[in-house]
Amino acid sequence: MPAPTATPSAASQVKPGLEGVVATETKLSMVDGQNGVLIIAGYPIEEFAGKVSIEEAAMLLWTGSLPSKEEVPQLQKELASYRALRPETIEIIKTARNAPPIDALRMACATLSLDVSNPNDISPAGDLALAKRLLSRFPTVIATHSRMRQGLDPIAPRSDLSLAANFLYMTFGVEPDPLAAKALETYWVTVSDHGMNASTFTARVIASTRSDMVSAVTGAVGALKGPLHGGAPGPVLDMLVDIKSADKAEAWLRGEIKEGRRIMGFGHRVYKVRDPRAEVLAKTASQMAGAHLQNAKLYDLARAVEKTAIKVLEELKPGRNLKTNVEFYTALVLQSIGLQPDQFVSMFACGRAAGWCAHVMEQHAQDRLIRPQSHYVGPKGLTLSR
């Protein structure tokens, strides 16, 4: 006789993927997918990105208020003082020089509290001290990895540059283009926080056990690596290269959909209209395109492909609301400043570190273990016959 199986109870309400489940209250960001609205600590993303630095955005998320204009220079000076990496971290990056950048970042992240006297301090002051180090050092890790995998010596950080400008200097070894630094900074601010996404939820689950900031953020980096969360900007460029010209876009898109393949840069788990972050980054991509002929051609192609894709998706997948998401213009912005597609996810992490740290702080303050239940659907009553 087959073993009996569990039957769902009337009270059981399984929500696959936790769809629609509200896990906590937050003051950090609000995502309205129906109306295409993203609020960062009170500010609409369109009002925010491009007008403040990532350092200012981080302090807003961490403390609840933007620093004054008079406070900004001292803030940037303080954060710049944390950029240098310990020898142990540099050795790990060297060992991981042939690994994808996001893997190198995950490995290095776990070491970024080695110079803190009490890395397990989860008080507000302890969390803030670690948050400042993580935000400041993530770009240093990626720049150092970029140099080492090319067989080049890493470049020491400079304290007279903004976080974005210093990353470009450390990566390319020349004075950073102000327009490129501004584009990167706008990107980082745009992706600094975005509700209860997979990596943020991961960080909060870890923090809810009273684990430390670095452990929680290291876990978040691991969650971001998955292609369903942070891995699609690179394939957007592959798509544009394959399409080649605007007149070939419709046939290419129809062929991909017919074969059951996803159109990269379109559709979002939450947004049912155009992603508001795409609006911000489209303007940034346009500014970069205006400065570089090659980028201008790619930008013009992307605009044409976006228009065609929206039309074809509405026709072939009616009711799905597959609109432009943040990944589409992320690819153009990061490519325009000279980065490689396999660096894109780690670049996302550099901006999202601000939000991850803020959520860890918020979770530590709430001090509530996150412990959802599961509904058992396996067998019961089995007996051993041996």
Within 13 Å, how many C-alpha atoms sit on residue 92's CB side?
Answer: 17
- pLDDT at residue 319 is higher than 80: yes
- pLDDT at residue 161 is higher than 50: yes
Tell me if residue 268 is catalytic.
yes
| 33-81 pLDDT per residue, tens | 889 999 999 999 998 999 999 999 999 999 999 999 999 999 999 999 9
For residue 43, list its beta bridge partners.
40
Contact 62, 128 (CB under 8 A): yes
- pLDDT at residue 254 is higher than 70: yes
For residue 40, list its beta bridge partners.
29, 43
CA angle (201 as vertex; 197, 204 as ends), nearest 5: 145
Q: Across residues 100-122, what is the average pLDDT?
A: 96
Domain with CATH 1.10.580.10 in the chain: 29-224+341-366
Distance CA 347, CA 358 (A): 18
Could you give the angle at which helices 249-258 and 233-243 cross, rounded to 10 degrees?
Answer: 120
Find the catalytic residue in 327, 359, 362, 364.
Answer: 327
Find the catalytic residue in 268, 279, 362, 364.
Answer: 268
Round the average pLDDT of the chain to a whole number and report it. 92
| 42-55 pLDDT per residue, tens | 999 998 999 999 99
DSSP H helical ranges for the chain: 45-48, 54-63, 72-80, 87-95, 101-109, 124-149, 163-172, 178-190, 198-208, 213-225, 233-243, 249-258, 276-291, 293-316, 326-336, 344-366
Distance CA 29, CA 24 (A): 12
| Residue of 181 and 2 predicted with greater confidence | 181
Tell me if residue 250 is catalytic.
no
Domain with CATH 1.10.230.10 in the chain: 233-336
Short-list 176, 178, 143, CA closest to 157:
143
- pLDDT at residue 6 is higher than 60: no
Topology of the domain comprising 29-224+341-366:
Citrate Synthase; domain 1 (1.10.580)
| Residue of 134 and 326 predicted with greater confidence | 134
Q: Across residues 368-379, what is the average pLDDT?
A: 91
- pLDDT at residue 234 is higher than 60: yes
Topology of the domain comprising 233-336:
Cytochrome p450-Terp; domain 2 (1.10.230)
Short-list 202, 194, 176, CA closest to 348:
194
Q: Is 38 helix (H, G, I), strand (E, B) or coil?
A: strand
- pLDDT at residue 101 is higher than 70: yes
Provide, rounded to the nearest whole percent, the portion of the chain with pLDDT above 90: 80
- H or E element at residue 119: none
Provide, rounded to the nearest whole percent, the portion of the chain with pLDDT above 70: 96
Burial 152-172 (b: 16+ CB within 10 A, else e): eebbebeeebbbbbbbbbbbb
| CA separation, residue 161 to residues 71, 73, 87, 148, 169 (Å) | 16, 11, 23, 22, 9
Residue 233: which region, alpha, beta or left (left: phi > 0; alpha: psi -120 to 50)? alpha
Q: Which residue in this structure is represented by tokens 């058992």?
A: 376
The CA radius of gyration of the chain, in Å to the nearest whole number, is: 22
At residue 293 the predicted structure's pLDDT band, cuts being 50, 70 and 90, is low
- pLDDT at residue 9 is higher than 60: no
